[in-house]
Amino acid sequence: MCAPEHFAVEYAINPWMDLTVGVDVALAVEQWDRLRHTLVDLGHDVHVLTPQAGLPDMVFAANGAFVVDGTVYGAQFKHEQRAAEAAAHREFYQKHGWHFIAPSETNEGEGDFAYLPEAHGGLILAGHGFRTELPAHAEAQEALGRPVVSLRLVDPRFYHLDVALASIDDGNVAYFPGAFSAASQRVLAQLFPDAVLADDEDALAFGLNLVSDGANVVLNSDATRLAGKLKAAGYTPVPVELAELKKGGGSVKCCIAELRP
């Protein structure tokens, strides 16, 4: 995770970013810290990346890389405003001894990649259409040695996979069908017949931008109906308020890069 000490909406690279809306940085830090404490209280270790001035979106740490079984496939951001974030993430992983593979293709880390180790023997779901380029899916498959299923995003409000789909345990997902092309919807229905489906209201509340340890699902507090569906499916919803960070187009998952040794 990376604290939003320099968080601001200084440019608009997704439909959620409004240059006329101010950001309360102190409140953003307070809400982010509450999220961090929530993860710690659930028993998870949290490493904190040092925020850098001039990189207001660095709080969205999930976009910096994608890790599977100790191998790190690095990010190469689409927009120049975020490009320098990639080096900070690379430095973290190499400093801590992770096997880092530098990308040649445009991709935004866990923003557009999700890993399910028990789905069909180990499966990567990969989004494209707005940020990550399709050739990066093949590059990730070669780097990580796991089959990659490409899913096309068609609604610009769901510009990353992680605002439209989330792994809720090692073999299942929650997702919003309307974010995907008709063909990708059919693929998801075939792969995950027991998936938890979100409606448009909870998807637009960033409810799917969540993290789950297979039992506890930390998600945006505005996604009340999705929380109810997850509870009915046997999970424990853990709501958190992240209103300030939503102004940048992100929520829970965007703030968390998952480390998979």
Phi, psi of 178 (to 5 degrees): -65, -15
Residue with tokens 């945006």: 220
- Check if 254 is active-site: yes
From its phi and psi, is residue 147 left (phi > 0), alpha (psi between -120 and 50) or beta?
Answer: beta
| Beta-bridge partners for 167 | 173
Q: Which of 2, 89, 254, 255 is catalytic?
A: 254
Distance CA 176, CA 99 (A): 33
| The two three-digit tokens of residue 244, written as one number | 């300030």
8-state DSSP, 156: G
Nearest to 240, CA basis, from 249, 230, 227: 227
CB 238 within 8 A of CB 219: yes
Q: Which of 2, 137, 160, 255 is catalytic?
A: 160
- Check if 160 is active-site: yes
| The two three-digit tokens of residue 231, written as one number | 């509870």
Distance CA 158, CA 180 (A): 9
What is each CA distance from 240 to 18, 50, 237, in whole angstroms? 23, 23, 10
8-state DSSP, 50: P
| The two three-digit tokens of residue 208, written as one number | 């799917």
Active site residues: 160, 254
